Amino acid sequence: MHNIVTIIKKELARFFKDKKLVFTTVLFPGLMIYLLYSFMGSGFLNKMEGDSTYIPKIVVNEIPSEIEPLFQETKYDFRGFTENELDAVLTQIENKEIDVAIIFPENFEEDIQTHSQIPNVEIYYNSTKSDSSSAYRALIAVLSQYENTLSNVFDVNVDQSITYDLASEKDLTGEIFSMMLPMLLMIFIFSGCMGIAPESIAGEKERGTIATLLVTPMKRSELAIGKIISLSIISLLAGLSSFLGTILSLPKLYGGQMDGVNAMAYSMMDYVMLLVIILSSILIIISLISIISAYSKSVKEATTAIMPLMIVVMLIGVSSMMISDKGPSLITALIPLYNNVACMNGIFGFTLNPIYFAITLVANLIYTFIFVFVLAKMFNSEKCMF
Amino acid sequence: METILKVEGLKKTFTLSKKQMKLEKTKDKKKVAVNGISFDAYRGEIFGLLGPNGAGKTTTLRMIATLIKPDAGDALVDGSSIVKDPGAVRGKIGFLTSELKLEDFFTPNYLYDFFSNLYGVDVATCKSRKEKLFKRFGIDEFAEVKIENLSTGMKQKVSIVISLVNDPDIIIFDEPTNGLDILTAKVVTDFLLDLKKQGKSIIVSTHIFSLVEKICDRVGIIIHGEMVCADTLERIQDGMSMEERFFEIFEAHGGRIDA
Residues A262, A46 contacting (CB under 8 angstroms): no
Q: How near does any CA of chain B get to the CA of A3, in Å?
A: 6
Asked whether residue A160 is domain-assigned, the answer is no
Same domain (yes/no): A115, A173: no
Same domain membership, residue A235 and residue A214: yes
Which of A212, A227, A384 is the mutation pick for testing B, counting most B CBs within 10 A?
A212
Q: Which amino acid is at A277?
A: I
User: What's the 3-state SS for B82-138?
Assistant: CCCCHHHHHHHEEEECCCCCCCCCCCHHHHHHHHHHHCCCCHHHHHHHHHHHHHHHC
Q: Is residue A91 a part of any domain in this protein?
A: yes
What average pLDDT does this structure show over A7-20? Answer: 90
**In the predicted structure, residue A318 carries a pLDDT above the cut 80:** yes
User: What domain count does chain A have?
Assistant: 2
Q: Tell me what pLDDT residue A59 has.
A: 92
Of A14, A212, A386, the CB nearest to B102: A212
Are residues A195 and A309 both part of a single domain? yes
Cα B48 to the chain's mean position, in Å? 9
Question: Cβ–Cβ contacts within 10 Å for residue B153, how many?
Answer: 17
Average confidence (pLDDT) over A317-332: 82
Handedness of CA A374, A377, A379, A382 (dihedral sign): negative
Number of A/B CB contacts below 8 angstroms equals 60
Total Cβ atoms within 10 A of residue B251:
12
Whether A161 is covered by a domain: the verdict is no
In a shared domain, residues A36 and A61: no
Residue in chain A closest to B95 (alpha carbons) equals: A215
Share above pLDDT 90 across residues of chain A, in percent, rounded to a whole number: 26
- Measure CB to CB from residue A6 to each of B68, B103, B117 and give the nearest one: B117
Q: CB of A115 within 8 Å of any CB in chain B?
A: no
Q: Is A207 on the interface with B (CB under 8 A)?
A: yes
Give residue-wise pLDDT tens across range A23-51: 988 888 888 888 887 887 777 666 666 66
Taking residues A249-253, report their average pLDDT: 70
Reported confidence tier of residue B259, pLDDT bands at 50, 70, 90: very low
Q: Which of residues 248-287 of A touch B (CB under 8 A)?
A: none
Range of the domain at A121: 57-150
Residue at A320 is within a domain:
yes
Does the distance separating the beta carbons of A217 and B118 come in below 8 Å? yes
Q: Note whether residue A264 is domain-resident.
A: yes
> What is the rounded CA–CA span in Å between residue B19 and residue B15?
11
Contacts of A208 in chain B (CB under 8 A): 99-101
Residues A367 and A308 in one domain: yes
Question: Tens of pLDDT along A77-136?
Answer: 999 888 888 889 999 999 989 999 999 988 888 888 887 788 889 999 998 888 888 899
The chain-wide mean pLDDT, for chain B, equals 88
Model pLDDT for residues A166-224, shown as the tens digit of each residue: 767 777 777 777 887 888 888 888 888 888 889 888 888 888 888 888 889 998 889 98
A180 reaches B (C-beta below 8 A): no
The two beta strands, B201-206 and B170-174, are parallel
Q: Are residues A181 and A313 in the same domain?
A: yes
Residue A207 and residue B101: Cβ atoms within 8 Å? yes
Residues A174 and A252 in one domain: yes
Q: A137 with A220, same domain?
A: no
**Domains, chain B, ranges and CATH?**
3-99+169-252 (3.40.50.300)
Domain boundary among A150, A181, A203: A150
Contact indicator for B169, B198 with CB cutoff of 8 Å? no
Q: Return the CATH number at A146.
A: 3.40.190
Domain annotation covers residue A373: yes
Boundary of a domain, candidates A150, A180, A212: A150
A14: nearest CA in chain B?
B105
Burial class (CB in 10 A: 0-12, 13-18, 19+), B109: middle
Both A313 and A265 in one domain: the answer is yes
CA distances from B184 to B76, B176, B188, B190 (A): 32, 10, 6, 10
- Considering A119, A150, A181, which residue would you say is the last residue of a domain? A150
User: Which of A13, A212, A218 is closest, CB to CB, to B100?
Assistant: A212
Whether B105 and A17 lie within 8 Å, measured CB to CB? yes
Give the burial class of B241: count Cβ atoms within 10 A of its Cβ; 0-12 exposed, 13-18 middle, 19 or more buried: exposed
Residues A209 and A357 placed together within one structural domain of the fold: yes
In this complex, the residue of A207, A211, A216 whose CB is nearest that of residue B90 is A216
Higher pLDDT, A11 or B259: A11
A355 assigned to some structural domain: yes
Domain membership of residue A156 (yes or no) is no
Phi, psi of B11 (to 5 degrees): -135, 135
Q: Do residues A252 and A179 both lie within one domain?
A: yes
The pTM for the full model equals 0.76
Closest CA to A177 of A274, A43, A32, A70: A274
What Rg, from alpha-carbon coordinates, does chain A have?
30
Residues A204, A133: one domain?
Answer: no
B59 vs chain A: nearest CA distance in angstroms?
Answer: 12
For residue B117, the chain A residues in CB contact (below 8 A) are: 2-3, 6
